[in-house]
Structure 1
Amino acid sequence: MDLGLQGKSALVTGASRGIGMATAESFAREGIAELHLAARSEEGLARVRDRLVAEYGVKAAIHPMDLGAADNVAELARRCPEVDILVNNAADSTPGPLDKLSDRDWRDSLDMKIFSYVALTREFYAHMKRRGGGVIVNDIGNSGENPDANYIVGTTGNAAMMAFTRGVGGRSLDEGVRVVGVNPGPVATDRMVKLMKRRALDWYGDEGRWEELFDKYPGKRPAQPGEVADLIVWLASPRAGYITGTIVTIDGGIASRGSII
């Protein structure tokens, strides 16, 4: 299927690893003309850029920065204001229940999960509105629809971003812009291992038993980053041109089941 991405440009945040890296590769494989890759790790971004340029011939630029800082968000928008697609993906919430988390844990996590997504959306939405078109995809997380007391910061931030995505995306097509969200469940990334170890500690008293949790998942496995990435890229493409203000869940049925048990 031709996704119609030729001649388009995209900015992917959190692109040095995991879902962000897989999304950048999926865009490149589908023939996008230009990529902008943002994350904290300059070394990691450079590796991704060099591989994608070598394998797919895509034009790519990197932007190493901490998007939890408002000044960096403004700088990133200044560097690449003409992108057709923004994928908000850079976020990392501290796992754990309410009584184990400090105010700093909450603020650091929500600065990335809520405020960086909101600020980036505000900046790039304005440019897209001016041009009369564009797409914003928010990578959120299924705990926003399946509340989890042992991941209370993440579940709160994700629920907020679901509401934000629906609220903005419900009106955005009036101005030629689409805003959509993706809710992955467990995905085979370094970040997932950290969360799984925390859950194994909470459930079994031993973080070393984290792989036992796979037995509770549909299909006895997590999703692969490429499975989530391909969904993001399809939603960002003209093939999904009538989809806005909604969230697509990719979690093997966990949220619908209400549990991984």
Structure 2
Amino acid sequence: MDLQLRGKRVLVTGASQGIGAGLAEVFAEEGADLVLTARRAGVLAELAARLSAAHGVKVETVAADLSRRDGAAAILSAAGDVDILVNNAGAIPGGDLWQVDADAWRAGWEVKVMGFIDLTRLYYARMKAQGHGVILNNIGNGGENFDFRYVAGSTGNAALMAFTRAIGGASLDDNIRVVGVNPGPVATDRIVRVMKLRAKESLGDEDRYPELMAKYPLGRAASVREIADLFAFLASPRSAYTSGTIVTVDGGITARRSIGG
């Protein structure tokens, strides 16, 4: 299937690792030109060189810190206009209400919640002026599964779900689509860190984390590729009628909930 993304200009935040790097790979394979942002300039440069050589696309990098109040404006200034914005940067810390103190809570939300909102505000206006655009938000199924042990993330993700629906519900009036994706557990370094912490708490040994991973659907987390391929489709004209909605990809974890828990 031709996703008709060749020559499109795609901005991916948090592109230096995990899902962000996977997103960059998939869009490059589809022939899109990339602007990759993250805080680690060296890692971005290595990724950009590899993708450009492998796929013959233009890849620019912007070292930026969305925890700064001017971070979103700095990205816009450096990157300029794009056809597709993928808000991906940020990882809200795990823990309960007392394990995540006020400073950690605010720091996590500054990047993932306010970073998404600030970039959307800026790029929506640019996309409206250019007459088209797509904004994709990588949120997370914690926004649908309220977790005492992930209270800052559950709350932040729920806010981003509401934000995505609120903006995307009317955005087609401006020929812009706004869509959210809620991955469940994904096979990245981050999920290993989270599961090690939970294994230490529940089993007394962090090295037993594979026992917890085995309880996921199919006995595993999703691959990065399984998530990134969906983003590429949603970004494409093949999905031109999709806006103001959230697509959950978690192997049925959210749907499996029942009255009995």
Shorter chain as denominator, the TM-score bin is: over 0.9
RMSD of Structure 2 on Structure 1 (CA): 1.2
* Equivalent pair of 1:68/1:116 in contact (CA under 8 Å): yes
Q: Which amino acid aligns with 1:21?
A: A
Equivalent residue, structure 1, for 2:204: 205
Q: How does 1:16-31 map to 2 (within 5 A)?
A: 16-31=16-31
What displacement does 1:47 show? 1.4
Q: 8 Å contact 1:188–1:223 — kept in the other structure?
A: yes
Q: Quote the offset at 1:240 in angstroms.
A: 0.5
Instruction: Give 1:196 deviation, angstroms.
Output: 1.4
Please report how far the alpha carbon of residue 258 of structure 1 lies from its aligned counterpart in structure 2 after TM superposition.
2.8
Match of 2:139 in 1: 140
Counterpart code for 1:174: D
Q: Deviations over 1:107-143 (max 9, x none)?
A: 0111112100000000110100111100000000001
1:46-90 CA deviation, whole Å, 9 max, x = no partner?
Answer: 111011011001100111121121212101111222100000000
Q: 1:167 maps to what in 2?
A: 166
Are 1:199 and 1:210, in contact at CA under 8 Å, matched by a contact in 2? yes
1:144–1:156 Cα contact (<8 Å) kept:
yes
Which amino acid in the other structure matches residue 89 of structure 1?
Answer: N
- Preserved CA contact (<8 Å) 2:38 2:64: yes
The secondary structure found in structure 2 opposite 1:138 is strand
Report the secondary structure of 1:216's partner residue: coil
Q: Deviations for 1:146-202, whole angstroms, at most 9, x for unmatched residues?
A: 111111111111000000000000000000100000000000111111221222233
User: Counterpart of 1:135 in 2: which secondary structure?
Assistant: strand
Unaligned segments of structure 2, at least 5 residues: none
Q: Which has the higher helix share?
A: 1
Q: TM-score, normalised by structure 2?
A: 0.96
Question: Percent of pairs identical after alignment?
Answer: 53
For 2:225 and 2:196, the matched residues in 1 are separated by: 23
3-state SS of paired residue (1:244) = coil
Residue 196 of structure 1 pairs with residue 195 of structure 2 = yes
Contact 1:70 1:119 in 2 (8 A): no
**Residues 95 and 198, structure 1, Cα contact 8 Å, conserved in 2:** no
Matches within 5 A, 1:44-63: 44-63=43-62
Aligned to 2:255: 256
Q: Is the 8 A contact 2:164 2:178 kept in 1?
A: yes
Q: What's the TM-score once normalised by structure 1's chain length?
A: 0.96
Residue in 1 aligned with 2:39?
Answer: 40
Structure 2 CA distance, aligned partners of 1:185 and 1:3? 25
SS of 2:255's partner is helix
Instruction: Please say if 1:127 is aligned against 2:138.
Output: no
CA contact (8 A) 2:37 2:63 kept: yes
Q: Please show how residues 58-97 of structure 1 align to structure 2 within 5 Å.
A: 58-97=57-96
After TM superposition, give the deviation of residue 222 of structure 1 in Å.
Answer: 0.4
- Give the letter for the 2:191 counterpart: M
SS of equivalent to 2:179: strand
Is contact 1:184–1:251 with CA below 8 Å preserved after alignment? Answer: yes
Cross-structure match for 1:7 = 7
